[in-house]
Structure 1
Amino acid sequence: MSARIFNMLLGVWLTAAPALLGYTGAARTNDSIVGPIVASVALMAMWEVLRPLRWINFAFGLWLIAAPSIFDYEGSPLFNSLIVGALLSSFALVRGRRTKRFGGGWSSLWRHAIPSEDQDGRPEVVVVTGASAGVGRAVVREFAKRKAKIGLLARGEDGLAGARKEVEAAGGKALVIPIDVSDAEQVEAAAAAVEEAFGPIDIWVNNAMVSVLSPVKEMPPEEFKRVTDVTYLSYVYGTLAALRRMLPRDRGTIVQVGSALAYRSIPLQSAYCGAKHAVKGFTDALRSELIHDKSRVRITMVQLPAHNTPQFSWIKTRMPNHPQPVPPIFQPEVAAEAIYWAAHHNRRELTVGWPAAKAIWGNKIIPGFLDWYLALKGYGGQQTGEPVDPNRPDNLWRPVPGDHGARGIFSHRAKPDSIHLRLNLHRGTVIAAGVIALMLLATGIFIWY
């Protein structure tokens, strides 16, 4: 990256040189055009995914060396062009060391070719809570593609069995552990079992959740406690189990699967929203402690929008119509890709999808307006127009039998990808592209006038 910094400074120097050295004519025009481009290309090439752009600056270096002969430079423009051209070409030849932080090639602009092995060259050992269905099931599949060894934690034995078959079919290994993650002792025992079977845990994904669709005034205390135990305290218990093993080794990653509702609560899901707020508060506190202790154990949180998962077919509800995710809806594979990416990149927090970003930022800017807006739209937005079966089973206290997979019943309305996520995963590239566009615009204006 140092070579890219030097080339960026050379580009800045080229832009300023005509004014500082007082030359005009072709040399001034040439340097005023080449300078901003060189600086912008060097900035973009700092990201490994765009590192091949350094060859553009190699070509510009050769051009600067040849320009005095073409335009008959003399004096300071001649020496400046030759020296800068030689330095620019030399630094452009420096490839630099590879890192995992910014991806590994052009293809990672549209897909993520992240290594499937840890630094020791062994398959990653991963624990996923809520692994039997929904987002958790999609996350399991995402890791299984890389032949990871995965501890599958959930209550639903049918779903766990289905997840195990998918992992093994993809070439990975799976350990099925049917537990209630709201029990700290069961979570600790599960962590021990995973390490005994597969070795040190590299990544722990806290994902388990339950919810109740109900006005606050109609919910009994035991339902608030149950949602809190599963959706918040299971994250605490999972994090503690992971830390007991990761801290002595000084490595490992904990991923908290969050929601835009960790920032902006909505009506009818008070218990769930409260739990997600608690997860965020707990995670932020722990992150500061890890920084204080200079630990290399990393914790990140992924804030999700609405996804098409089976939870809307088994969430406990007191509303008259069938529950639905608040549109726009995304397929759970979108969340899984983001969670996998967050587990392998040093991002403090990752927001998935424009709807989640809009809710988060909207609550920071116009929270009072959103209170009123959700009072009007939040009830209908969480229900379809079809009556709900009053006798349907729910999963608040016990799992619903059967293997329900990752997707729910709203696939016809769900988006398979998110442009916002693509831009967010490569925000450095997006910023660099914006910088080069502005610099080229500024150069055009400068030359015009």
Structure 2
Amino acid sequence: MPQNIVVTGASAGIGRATARLFARRGANITLVARGREGLDAAADEVEELGGRPLVQVADTADPQQVEDLADMAEQTFGPIDVWVNCAFTSVFAPFDEIPPEEYKRVTEVTYLGFVNGTRTALRRMLPRDHGTIVQVGSALGERAIPLQSAYCGAKHAVNGFTSSLRVELLHRHSGVHITIAQMPAVNTPQFSWVRSRLPRHPQPVPPIYQPEVAARGVLHAADHPKRKQYYIGAPTLATIWANRLAPALLDRYLARTGFDAQQTDSPAPQGPDNLFSPADALSGRDYGAHGEFDDASHTHSWQAALARHPTMTAAAVGAGLMAAAAGARRGISGGARGGS
């Protein structure tokens, strides 16, 4: 029997790439996002790859819309097996330049959207004692960086509520599982449509990975959900361990490099942003899975491949620790040489 999958944020980026991988398995996939252009294009891809799509235009910040799409998914395909929370939005700006309504919107989508999706999935999975929820997280959910305070705060919140829920499910001895796939910098269209007050074009902090690397991590997490979380990409592992081992040094390093590292040399984009309305509806175009940084993005991650083999995870952790320590030493020594 084909799996029944729900993917939020399925119109672009990691959600779009994840839907493609599930489609290759012949899965039934409910594709959720606000933008019709991207969803229709994603549905065409799912069909071409051997899956069955169901398009559901919905804002995951609205719990009733999430309930309605879940009802339609189960009416169409039957009980939901896997629910992937991936939808998010962000604002690139210093904290004091983000108005309250924008901060609220990022939090409603990027945090409460995950809460709404999780609650809706559990309402159906718990009585059946079966199902898996995968949260698409971020290294920034443990190590915050400048210019993304709203997004980082929301991702920290996702980690917190998911950990609490996971313990509750363990207490119940439930057959429902929840896990998080923590992502590195990924080449998605968000850097073309994010609301930004930066003087130059925003970019993911290198090294950058293609959405397919992230999607393989999501699929693996869905197949093996008993682990609390998965780290996708060596930079994710290195960032998290560097933050645990030397947080003050990392603060100083990011204060020195974090502003320029998130901007290219190009002018800021002039197109529509997607904070309150889907960018594809405003522009009339499908953005696809990839962003503008194909030439700078990695198509594979040795660390993610190792993580899919538990006996080799220790080697990845050791390598990540060494890389984190070396990076911190280089950053601090560089700052000392370059300071006034």
TM-score, reference length from structure 1: 0.68
TM-superposition CA deviations, 1:285-313 (whole Å, max 9, x none): 00000001110100000100001110000
Match of residue 123, structure 2, among 244, 252, 274: 244
Farther off after superposition, 393-402 or 135-144: 393-402
Alpha-carbon distance between aligned partners in 2 of 1:306 and 1:339, rounded to the nearest angstrom: 15
Give the aligned partner of residue 332 of structure 2. none
* Greater relative CO (CA pairs within 8 A, separation 6+): 2
Q: Secondary structure at the match of 1:398?
A: coil
Shift of 1:159: 0.3
- AA aligned to 1:387 is P
What are the equivalent positions in structure 2 for 1:123-202 lying under 5 Å apart? 123-202=2-81
Give the aligned partner of residue 365 of structure 1. 245
- AA aligned to 1:207 is C
Which structure is larger by alpha-carbon Rg, 1 or 2?
1
Give the aligned partner of residue 216 of structure 2. 337
Match of residue 235, structure 2, among 346, 350, 355: 355
Match of residue 304, structure 2, among 406, 421, 433: 421
Give the aligned partner of residue 383 of structure 1. 263
Q: Secondary structure at the match of 1:309?
A: coil
- Mark the CA change 1:317 to 1:430 in structure 2 (over 3 Å): closer, same or farther: closer
- AA aligned to 1:382 is Q
Shift of 1:429: 4.6
Alpha-carbon distance between aligned partners in 2 of 1:430 and 1:271, rounded to the nearest angstrom: 32
- AA aligned to 1:249 is R
Shift of 1:370: 1.0
Alpha-carbon distance between aligned partners in 1 of 2:240 and 2:229, rounded to the nearest angstrom: 12
- AA aligned to 2:245 is I
Answering whether residue 99 of structure 2 is matched by residue 220 of structure 1, we say: yes
TM-superposition CA deviations, 1:357-388 (whole Å, max 9, x none): 11111111111111111111000000001111
Match of residue 287, structure 2, among 380, 387, 404: 404
- AA aligned to 2:20 is R
Alpha-carbon distance between aligned partners in 1 of 2:244 and 2:160, rounded to the nearest angstrom: 16
Give the aligned partner of residue 312 of structure 1. 191
TM-superposition CA deviations, 1:341-360 (whole Å, max 9, x none): 11001322100111001111
- AA aligned to 2:17 is A
| Stretches of structure 2 lacking an aligned partner (at least 5 in a row) | 316-340
Give the aligned partner of residue 146 of structure 2. 267
Q: Secondary structure at the match of 2:87?
A: coil
Alpha-carbon distance between aligned partners in 2 of 1:350 and 1:319, rounded to the nearest angstrom: 31
Alpha-carbon distance between aligned partners in 1 of 2:91 and 2:185, rounded to the nearest angstrom: 16
What are the equivalent positions in structure 2 for 1:99-138 lying under 5 Å apart? 122-138=1-17
Alpha-carbon distance between aligned partners in 1 of 2:102 and 2:255, rounded to the nearest angstrom: 23
The structure 1 segments of at least 4 consecutive aligned residues displaced by more than 3 Å after TM superposition are 429-432
Give the aligned partner of residue 279 of structure 1. 158
Alpha-carbon distance between aligned partners in 1 of 2:28 and 2:252, rounded to the nearest angstrom: 47
TM-superposition CA deviations, 1:239-284 (whole Å, max 9, x none): 0000000000001000000000010000000000000000000000
Q: Secondary structure at the match of 1:234?
A: helix
Shift of 1:170: 1.1
Q: Secondary structure at the match of 1:256?
A: strand
Alpha-carbon distance between aligned partners in 2 of 1:166 and 1:430, rounded to the nearest angstrom: 34
Alpha-carbon distance between aligned partners in 2 of 1:251 and 1:348, rounded to the nearest angstrom: 17
TM-superposition CA deviations, 1:65-108 (whole Å, max 9, x none): xxxxxxxxxxxxxxxxxxxxxxxxxxxxxxxxxxxxxxxxxxxx
| Stretches of structure 1 lacking an aligned partner (at least 5 in a row) | 1-121, 433-449
Alpha-carbon distance between aligned partners in 2 of 1:424 and 1:394, rounded to the nearest angstrom: 35
Shift of 1:424: 1.2
TM-superposition CA deviations, 1:160-180 (whole Å, max 9, x none): 000000111111101100011
Alpha-carbon distance between aligned partners in 2 of 1:171 and 1:220, rounded to the nearest angstrom: 44
**Greater strand content:** 2
Alpha-carbon distance between aligned partners in 1 of 2:181 and 2:221, rounded to the nearest angstrom: 7
